[in-house]
């Protein structure tokens, strides 16, 4: 067991560290020039939040991960003023109107917003709109002063190992710069309530950089600093994540077009994916070199109608490759409803093309109701094989732990329960997670009369039980 517990931090920040060791003199000079230009496009975001009767009106994330001060003076009795601080950058301008990008959680529950430029000028801003699904907000201010918008670099040009810099205001040290590299690509934010594809970076990060830019050595934006992993002391451990520039541009342009809040979750297929990174990291089981592993599907959803099955590995959509579930979710949610698409999946070691159409994303309450009809209706994780010896089992056997059973699902009909360890199906043990989903699919697609021929053996409370469909 590791002594340090990783905690998700819904912000991205950086300490001042402009050590350009490793560049030639010319490279260092050029890079320094580009960083100075990027600093001129960067902003510090100051947010005033009013709280009534000492009751918190903003999220716990804001309390924990923004620079916050409380001051009750100057307002009506019982009203508290909370000053929060984040980061951002100038995205574009139109005549004298400037548009600034930051994280939506930076300006959550705001009363007033100001942005501060590198030159020290303060500007009152208004919120144009947000994309809460990607944690993006667009602000607008008007000024006669010229501020250069930050240029964007296409995400496909960024490579693992590239040198990058974060710009932000950690602990009120405004416009600090930190150096690191791109540690990984195509990361996801599955544990958080946001979607997208992220660059991973080891640039030093600390409290206060939410919404700041991740820039390349040529001074261009490659990512929007969005979240990180840290330890209980909230110190940097080199695991920061920035939403890729392609998705930043997509959301911002739509916000500017519609001048209101938007949702990237605009389409719905009805798939639930495994967190491949979690499975690989925690359990050491590599599901596939690329692709997104489907765990459940919604009954009567487009996915169900068009033939997707639990255990399928989604490889591409319209020939766009999928590397993990984060990429899959972003692609699916940005498809146009009622428009034909082709998905390539891997099923039983064979590639299959499925034609499908998404529908408009159902309202949240409707989705909650639909969650009762998920099949096979169980979320599960492979158990580390080291635990097999506790039950006297061979290391070649894969136990599957049930982490949730959905109401009215096939899993509930089998009387599966949280904490059960799936051991056998029809008397045969399972060598891996995929064999479990394949065998469940066979049960799902049999007629009702044949369901009774399917038996699931589980280890429950240390004893073995065999469950029949009732």
Please give the positions annotated as active site.
105, 135, 210
Residues 241, 247, 251, 257, CA torsion sign: positive
CB atoms within 10 A of CB 246: 17
DSSP assignment of 119-146: TS-EEEEEEEEEETTTTEEEEEEE-SS-
CB-based burial, 435-470: b 16+ in 10 Å, e otherwise? bbbbbbbebbeeeeeebeebebbbbeeeeeeebebe
At 430 the three-state DSSP class reads coil
Strands of 266-396, DSSP E: 267-268, 271-273, 292-298, 313-317, 320-321, 341-347, 350-356, 359-360, 374-375, 378-382
Q: Any idea which residue has 């959905």 for tokens?
A: 406
Measured at the CA of 191, the angle between CA 294 and CA 358, to 5 degrees, comes to 40
Where does residue 334 rank: exposed (0-12), middle (13-18), buried (19+ CB within 10 A)? middle
- The CA distance from 436 to 438, in Å, is 6
DSSP assignment of 432-468: SHHHHHHHHHHHHTS-HHHHTT-EEEEEETTEEEEEE
């Amino acid at each position: 067991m590791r002594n340090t517990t990783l905690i998700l931090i819904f912000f991205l920040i950086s300490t001042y560290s402009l050590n350009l060791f490793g560049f030639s003199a010319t490279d260092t000079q050029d890079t320094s020039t580009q960083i100075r230009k990027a600093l001129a496009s960067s902003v510090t975001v100051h947010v005033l939040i009013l709280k009534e009767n000492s009751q918190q009106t903003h999220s716990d994330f804001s309390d924990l991960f923004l620079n916050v001060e409380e001051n009750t003076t100057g307002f009506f009795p019982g009203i508290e003023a909370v000053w929060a601080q984040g980061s951002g950058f100038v995205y574009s301008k139109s005549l004298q109107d400037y548009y600034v990008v930051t994280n939506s959680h930076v300006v959550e529950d705001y009363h007033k917003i100001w942005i501060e430029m590198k030159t020290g000028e303060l500007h009152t801003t208004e919120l144009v709109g947000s994309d809460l699904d990607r944690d993006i907000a667009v602000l607008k201010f008007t000024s006669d002063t010229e501020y250069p918008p930050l240029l964007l670099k296409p995400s496909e040009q960024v490579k693992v190992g590239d040198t990058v810099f974060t710009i932000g205001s950690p602990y009120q040290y405004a416009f600090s710069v930190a150096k690191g590299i791109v540690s990984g690509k195509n990361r996801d934010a599955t544990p958080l309530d946001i979607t997208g594809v992220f660059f991973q970076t080891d640039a030093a990060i600390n409290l206060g950089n939410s919404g700041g830019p991740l820039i390349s050595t040529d001074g261009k934006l490659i990512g929007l600093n969005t979240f990180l992993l840290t330890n209980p002391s909230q110190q940097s451990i080199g695991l920061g994540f920035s939403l890729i520039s392609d998705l930043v541009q997509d959301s911002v342009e739509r916000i500017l077009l519609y001048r209101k809040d938007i949702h990237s979750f605009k389409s719905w297929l009805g798939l639930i994916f495994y967190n491949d990174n979690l499975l690989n990291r925690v359990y050491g089981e590599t599901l596939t070199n690329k692709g997104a592993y489907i765990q459940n599907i919604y009954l009567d959803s487009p996915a169900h109608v068009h033939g997707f099955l639990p255990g399928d590995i989604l490889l591409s959509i319209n020939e766009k490759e999928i590397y993990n579930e984060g990429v899959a979710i972003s692609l699916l949610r940005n498809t146009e409803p009622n428009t034909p698409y082709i998905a390539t999946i891997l099923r039983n070691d064979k590639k299959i093309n499925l034609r499908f159409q998404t529908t408009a994303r159902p309202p949240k309450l409707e989705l909650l109701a639909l969650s009762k009809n998920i099949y096979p209706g169980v979320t599960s994780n492979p158990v580390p094989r080291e635990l097999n010896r506790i039950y006297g089992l061979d290391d070649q056997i894969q136990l599957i732990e049930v982490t949730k059973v959905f109401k009215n699902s096939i899993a509930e009909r089998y009387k599966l329960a949280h904490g059960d360890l799936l051991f056998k199906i029809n008397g045969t043990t399972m060598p891996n997670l995929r064999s479990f989903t394949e065998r469940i699919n066979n049960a799902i697609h049999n007629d009702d009369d044949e369901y009774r021929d399917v038996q699931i053996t589980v280890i429950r409370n240390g004893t073995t039980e065999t469950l029949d469909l009732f």
